[in-house]
Structure 1
Amino acid sequence: MNNTHISQTKSNQALYTLRWIVGAVAMITLLSITACNDEEKITDHSDEEEKHEEGLHLSNQQVEALQLTIDTVSTRAMARLVEVNGVLEVPPQNEAAVTAYIGANVVEINVIEGDKIQKGQALAHLSHPQLIKIQSDYSQSWHEMDYLQKEYNRQNTLYEEEVGSGRDMQKTAAELASLGASISGQESQLRLLGLDPTSIRKGVITDRIPVKSPISGYIKEVHIKTGQYVGPEYEMFEVVNIHHIHADMMVFEKDVSKVKVGQKVRFSVETLPGEELMAEVYSVGKSFESKPKAVHIHAEIENKKGLLIPGMYVRGQVITDKTKQPAVPEEAIAKEGDRNYLFSVKKQGEEWLFEKTEIVLDNQNDGWVSVKFMSPEDANKKYVMNKAYYLVAETKKGEGGHHH
C-alpha cells in the first residue's frame, strides 16, 4: 500500500512538472510573437512615418487658399542670350585733347568741367612775349615785301626800256619770292594761334591768344591753372562729344561665333537702376584681347536716357536667336544656395505632396526662364508654376516632420 502511494505521488509530481514546462514554453513563445509583432508595427510605423515625411504635404483647402497654379512644363519661344559686360565709350573722333600751339602762360580760363561748348569756342587765353615778337616779325616781313614788290616793278620797267640791268631785276624777283614764301608760313602760324594777319598788317598787335576747342561737346577735364606755363605738348583740356556714345562690350571666346552685326543688346547702367537700355551691334572685333580672352563688340544705343558718360560700367545680354525651349515663370523657381528647384506635385487622397526637383537654368526672357531637367522623366511631371517662395518657407517650417 505504501509503495503504491509513493508511486502515485511521484507520478503526480512528474505530471505537474511537465505541465509547468509546457506552460512556460507557451508563455515564452507568446511573448516572442508579441514582441515580433510589436517590432514589426514599430518598423512599419517608422517606415510609414519616414515615407510620410518626404516632401511637403498640404490639404486641398490649403492648395485652394494659396491659389497655386499646377501644370506640366511647356515649350516657349525663348531668346538665346550671350552675357557681356564693358563700358560706355565714344568714337575716337568724338574726343579731343586741347593743347596750345606755342609755349605761353595761362592768363584766363573760361570754362569748368561739365560745361557744354561749341566748336571754335575759346576755352582759355594765353600770353607770352614770344607772341608779340611773332606778330612784329610778320609785320616787318610784310612791309619789307611791299618794298621789294615796288622795287621789282621799278626795275622791270627800267629793263623793258633797256635802261636797267636784267641781273638786278632777277635778283629782286628771287628775294621777293623767298620773302613771299616766308610770309605765307608766318600767316599760317598766326591763324593757328587765332590771330588775324590782316589786323596785324594794319598795326594791331595783341598780347594774348585764345585756345579754341576743335569739337563741340562737354568739358571732361581741366588740367591748367591761371599763371601756369604750358608747352605745345601739354594737355590743357579734355573735350568729349557724347552724341554718339555707344556700348563697348567684351564677348568671351566661347560665345564669339554666336554674335553678329545687327543683333540687339539689352543692358543696364548703375546710374539708371531698374531701367533697361537697348542697343544694336554695329561692329564685332576681329582680334582677341589676351586678359581675358575676349573680343570687343560695339553697339549703338537706341533709347538713350539720363546722362550717359564715357567710362560708365555696363552689363548686358546679346539676343542671338529664338528657339523653342521648356520654360517656366520666374516665380515657379525655388533657389537654395547655388541650386535651383521646381516643386513637383502628386495628389494623395485628400492631400497634395510637393517635392523638390532640381533643374538647371538657361535663358531668361520677359519673366520666363528656360530650364533643363536632370533626368528625362522629370520633364513629364506636374509642377507648381507660382508662389514657390511660399512652398520654400513651408518646407523650412516643416523640417523634422511633415507639415499640414
Structure 2
Amino acid sequence: MKRNKYRIYATVIMLLSGLVLASCGNKKTTAEKPTEEHEHEEAPNTVTLTNEQFQTVGIVLGAPEQREISSAVKVNGLLDVPPQQTVSVSVPMGGFIRQTTMLQGMPVKKGQVLATLENIDYIQLQQDYLDARSQLEYAVTEYNRQQELSRENVNALKTVQQAKATFESLQAKVKGLREKLSLININIAGLEKGNIQRSVNVYAPISGYVTQVNINLGQFVNPADILFRIVNTEHLHAELTVFEKDIPRLKIGQPVRFTLANETKQRKATVHLIGREISPERTVRVHCHLDEEDTQLLPGTYLQAMIEAGAGNVQALPEAAVVNFENKAYVFVKDTPGKDSTHHFKMLEVQPGSNEQGYTEVNFPQGNIPQEIVIKGAYDLLAKMKNSGEEHGH
C-alpha cells in the first residue's frame, strides 16, 4: 500500500512540474512577441513603403542638376541719414531761454527761429564792440596824423610806430568782437546805428524735423548743451550689415530689395558704398541709396534686405523635393532596398539657397551628393513619417 502511495505522489509531482514548465514557456513566448514587433519598427527619420504604396503615391526619383540661379545675400539693416543731414543745435554763448515753441516731431525750415535767449553778457559784448569801434576811429585819425608829421620830420619815428601799434591792435579787437557778435546772431548793422539787443535768436541751420527738444523756459543753457536735434529725412539711405563671408559677392551698383519692419511692400535701393573695415562681430557696413525718396520714413527703422549678387551654376532640385520640418530643410534619399519589395527612404538635412523658376539651390552636408532623391512625393513621405511617429508615441 505504501509503495502505491509513493507512486501516486510521484506521478502528481511530475504532472505539476510539467504544468509549471509549460506555463513558463508560454510566458517566454509572450515576452518575445514585442521584440519581434520592434524588429519591424522603422528607424528614426526613415520611411518604408510597400510596393503598392509606392505606386499609389507616385514617387519620382531624380538627381540634383547644375542650374544657373540668381543668388541673393540676405541681410539686416537700418534706415539712416548722412552725418550732414543730422544737426545738434547749441549756442556759442550761454543764456536764459525766454521763448520757444518747438516740439518733438515738428517740421522746420532753414533759418526759422527755434528759441530766444537773454543774457546780460550779450549787452556787455555789444558795448565793448561799440567802444572798441569808437577808439579805432580815433586811432586811425591819430596814425594818419603822425604819419604826416613824420614826413615833415616834426616827430620821432617812435611816435609813429606807437600810433601804428595802437591802430592795428584796435582794428584786430573790433574784428574779433564783430565775429563774436555774428556767432550769437547780433545784427551788426543795427548795432552800429546804436541799437543794442538784450536777446538773441537761435535759428535752424537746416530744414527737417525736430527729433529732440532738451530745453524749457527759464532754463540757463551753456555752450556745451544741445538744445535741439534736427534731422533732414529727404536723403535717407539703407545701412546694411553684411557678414564677412558674403562681401566678395558684392559690387557697387548691385540692386537691393528691402522690406521695412512696419511694412509688407518691397522697396528698392542700390549698393553705393562697401565698407573697408570688419567689425569685431565679423561684419561690414554697406551703404545703399534708395531708388525712391520718401520723407515720411523714419531714421532707425529696422529692415530686412536681399542684395542681388548675380547668377551662378549651383546644385539645384525642384522646389517640391525640399520639405520643411521643425524649422529645418530636408530631402528624402532612397535607402538600401527592403525585403518583400518594400522601399526605404531616409530624410537628409540640407542647406537651401536661392529660388528661381521652380528650382531651389541645395547644399549637401560634407559635399556628399546623393543621386536618388525624391523629387515628387516628398511631402507625402513626410506626412507618413509624422503619422508613424505619432502612432509609436501612443
The residue aligned with 1:369 is: 360
TM-score by length of 1: 0.70
Counterpart of 2:128, as a letter, is: D
Counterpart of 1:316, as a letter, is: A
Aligned-pair distance for 1:341? Answer: 2.9
Residue 283 (str. 1) matches residue 287 (str. 2):
no
For 1:86 and 1:229, how far apart are their aligned partners in 2?
A: 39
2:184 aligned to which of 186, 193, 202: 193
Residue 113 (str. 1) matches residue 107 (str. 2):
no
For 2:242 and 2:144, how far apart are their aligned partners in 1?
A: 72
Which protein has the larger Cα radius of gyration, Structure 1 or Structure 2? Answer: 1
Q: Secondary structure in 1 aligned to 2:178? A: helix
For 1:295 and 1:181, how far apart are their aligned partners in 2?
A: 50
1:54 aligned to which of 48, 54, 69: 48
Counterpart of 2:247, as a letter, is: V
The residue aligned with 2:11 is: none
For 2:60 and 2:233, how far apart are their aligned partners in 1?
A: 49
- The verdict on how the C-alpha distance between 1:240 and 1:379 changes in structure 2, with shifts beyond 3 A counting, is farther
For 1:178 and 1:132, how far apart are their aligned partners in 2?
A: 23
2:311 aligned to which of 322, 326, 329: 322
How many percent identity over aligned positions? 28
2:193 aligned to which of 202, 212, 216: 202
- The question of whether the paired residues in 2 share the 8 Å contact of 1:361 and 1:369 is answered with no
Where does the alignment leave 5 or more consecutive residues of structure 2 unmatched? 1-32, 335-341
The residue aligned with 1:145 is: 136
Q: Secondary structure in 2 aligned to 1:324? A: strand
Q: Secondary structure in 2 aligned to 1:298? A: strand
For 2:377 and 2:84, how far apart are their aligned partners in 1?
A: 52
Q: Secondary structure in 2 aligned to 1:54? A: strand
1:300 aligned to which of 289, 303, 325: 289
Which shows bigger deviation, 204-213 or 392-401?
392-401
Pairs within 5 Å for 1:20-169:
54-55=48-49, 74-153=65-144, 168=159
Where does the alignment leave 5 or more consecutive residues of structure 1 unmatched? 1-41, 346-351
TM-score by length of 2: 0.71
The residue aligned with 2:167 is: 176
Residue 309 (str. 1) matches residue 301 (str. 2):
no
- The verdict on how the C-alpha distance between 1:239 and 1:354 changes in structure 2, with shifts beyond 3 A counting, is farther
For 1:215 and 1:240, how far apart are their aligned partners in 2?
A: 8
Aligned residue pairs total: 347
Pairs within 5 Å for 1:246-395:
246-272=237-263, 274-290=264-280, 292-304=281-293, 307-328=296-317, 330=319, 333-342=322-331, 357-365=347-355, 368-373=359-364, 378-381=370-373, 383-384=375-376, 388=379, 392-393=382-383
Counterpart of 1:322, as a letter, is: A
- The question of whether the paired residues in 2 share the 8 Å contact of 1:155 and 1:169 is answered with yes
Counterpart of 1:191, as a letter, is: S
- The verdict on how the C-alpha distance between 1:243 and 1:400 changes in structure 2, with shifts beyond 3 A counting, is closer
The residue aligned with 2:21 is: none
For 1:396 and 1:293, how far apart are their aligned partners in 2?
A: 40
For 1:102 and 1:248, how far apart are their aligned partners in 2?
A: 36
Q: Render the CA deviation track for 1:152-195: whole Å, top value 9, x for unaligned.
A: 45555666677777765554343222211111111111111111
For 1:81 and 1:335, how far apart are their aligned partners in 2?
A: 20
